[in-house]
């Protein structure tokens, strides 16, 4: 039998609610769901070369965030290249 250890992690209330709901609906224990999720994530990381991994969160400082918001407030017309790209996907 495998040795087990207890870990502690901070998660959002929304994630906890989803975990609780899924555990109730499936009858699986939360510990099993969490271990399966961690194993699946680590297995996927082992399969993908590190240079192809894209972080799912980007942290920016206040100045950068303000520049991002300013750019979003100034819409720019699509370039001809973007128009061609979008048209080719529709075909």
State pLDDT tens for residues 67-88. Answer: 999 999 988 899 999 999 988 7
- Domain membership of residue 19 (yes or no) is yes
The whole-model pTM stands at 0.56
Tell how far CA 52 is from the center of its chain. Answer: 15
The pLDDT-based confidence of 1 (bands split at 50, 70, 90) is: low
Exposure string for 29-54, b = 16+ CB within 10 A, e = fewer: eeeeeeeeeeeeeeeeeeeeeeeeee
Count of CA atoms in the C-beta half-sphere (13 A) of 33: 15
Residue-range definition of the domain harbouring residue 34: 13-90
- Domain membership of residue 6 (yes or no) is no
pLDDT of 56 > 90? The answer is: no
Report how far residue 79's alpha carbon sits from residue 72's, in angstroms, rounded to the nearest whole number. Answer: 16
**What tokens appear for 33 in the block?**
């769901």
- Domain membership of residue 7 (yes or no) is no
- Domain membership of residue 23 (yes or no) is yes
């Amino acid at each position: 039998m495998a040795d087990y250890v207890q870990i502690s992690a901070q998660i959002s209330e929304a994630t906890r609610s989803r975990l609780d709901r899924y555990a109730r609906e499936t009858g699986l224990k939360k510990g099993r769901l969490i271990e399966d999720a961690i194993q699946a994530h680590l297995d996927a990381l082992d399969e993908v070369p590190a240079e192809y991994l894209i972080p799912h969160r980007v942290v920016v400082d206040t100045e950068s965030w303000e520049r991002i918001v300013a750019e979003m407030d100034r819409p720019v017309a699509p370039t001809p290249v973007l128009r061609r790209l979008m048209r080719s996907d529709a075909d």
